Copies of this chain bind each other. A is one copy, B any other.
Amino acid sequence: MEKPGLIVAPLTPFTADLGVDEPALRRQIDYVVTDCGATMVVAAGVETQEYTYLGLEQRKALIRATIEAVDGRVPVMVGISHPSFKTAVALAHEAERLGAAAVQLLAPLRPFAGAPTQSDLLAYFVAVARETGLPITLYLNPGPGADVSIADTIALAKLPRVQLIKESSRDLARVSRLIVEIDRAGHARYFTTMQMLLATLELGGSGATMPPPGSEIARHVIDAFVAKDYERAASLQLQFALFPSKWMHRGLAPVMKAAMNLIGVPAGDPYPPYAPLSRDETAALAAYLRTTVLAHRFPATAAA
Contact surface of A with B, Cβ cutoff 8 Å:
18, 47-48, 50, 52-56, 83-87, 109-114, 119-120, 123-124, 127, 143-144, 170-174, 176-177, 179-181, 195-196, 198-199, 202-204, 228, 230-231, 234, 237-238, 240-242, 245-246, 248-253, 271-275
Contacts and interface: CB of A to CB of B under 8 A. Distances in A.
- Tally of this chain's copies: 4
A181 B250 CA distance: 20
B179 A241 contact: yes
Contacts of A248: 113-114
A202 B195 contact: no
- 9 nearest A-B residue pairs (beta carbon): A123-B273, A53-B84, A230-B230, A202-B234, A176-B241, A47-B111, A170-B173, A180-B241, A173-B195
A144 B202 contact: no
Contact of A274 (B110, B228, B246): B110
Given A112-B252, A241-B203, A172 B143 contact: no
Contacts of A173: 170, 195, 245
